[in-house]
Amino acid sequence: MGIGILCSGGDCAGMNPAIRRFVDKCINENTQPYFIYDGLSGMIDGHIKKASHTDVSGIIHKGGTIIRSSRSKRFFEKKFREQAFNNLAKNNIDKLVVLGGDGSFRALKQFYDDFGVKFVGIPATIDNDVNLTEYCLGVDTALNVIRSAIDNIRDTASSFRRAFVIEVMGRECGYLALVSAITSGAELCIIPEIEPNMNNLEKRLSNELNAGRNYLIAIVTEGTGKTETIKEWIENRLNLDSRISILSHIQRGGNPTVYDRLMGFEFIDFGLNTLLKNSMPNGVVTYKNGYFSMETIDKVVSGKYRIKENILKLAYKMSGI
């Protein structure tokens, strides 16, 4: 029997290194690896093929995923899940590895409940919002892409005496904005986890501008929906010309950093070892305090990811706290 790998949801750098390691390790363990192209949709439509060393040669430095990704509303219907199961059976696949986030893991848990197909989840999302793991694949590369963009924007901001409101990805989790703001020396940080005190911010920033500051950098998580509001606030309360830069999908791309390449290898190694031993049929690989572990999907989806308090505290001044 073989093992299939698929990507589901948003892509991220680090997926290709993980795919490379998946193929190499399966072959080393005398297990046939399979690619499932186009995520859950591809599993429904039978976009499945055997994988070999040749398929993964020269991919480790590439961003995104060579097997592509998707989201699938059809997978919510059992008739399409049954179609997906039949496609796996035709290819003698009885185990799966999925690179994705909470939604992907929930989908595979339902698939396991329906048909008993064992799986391991690898957290791969730049939002870094999967419960019980401190790190998700792709985050380091995304942070470096954001850092580079902020550094470049700061040059223009200082040249024109302007404020720039930079919107980064993140739905209910402000990890990207928070870490980017801290490490880039931003003056404002707006994230879902902290309610900003705009009066305190106005006092502090007004004093800094009166003392000679001539530009501002504000980092905003897209999920707060406050990007335009912060721009208007800066212009109306601080009397500083302001521009918005939405980084959008550039955050998902780019060559994987060394750290994301290594983490891709280690996530896959730990997950496949567990899957091949049949010690946990529906687990998610997590990383915490420098160690990998396996958690049941029920535990992972039962709670919400929380940013460490010591990191949140570093952003208090930028939020007016």
Helix (H, G, I), strand (E, B) or coil at 55: helix
With residues binned 3-state (H G I as helix, E B as strand, rest as coil), the percentages for the chain, rounded to 5, are 45, 20, 30
Selecting among 11, 38, 102, 127, the annotated active-site residue is 127
Q: At 232, which amino acid appears?
A: E
Of 17, 68, 5, nearest to 38 by C-alpha is 68
Q: Identify whether the C-beta of residue 120 lies closer than 8 Å to the C-beta of residue 275.
A: yes
- Terminal C-alpha separation, the chain: 56
Known catalytic residue: 127? yes
- Counting every residue written for the chain, the total comes to 321
The DSSP symbol for 148 reads H
Indicate the helix (H) or strand (E) that contains 200: helix 198-210
Catalytic residues: 127
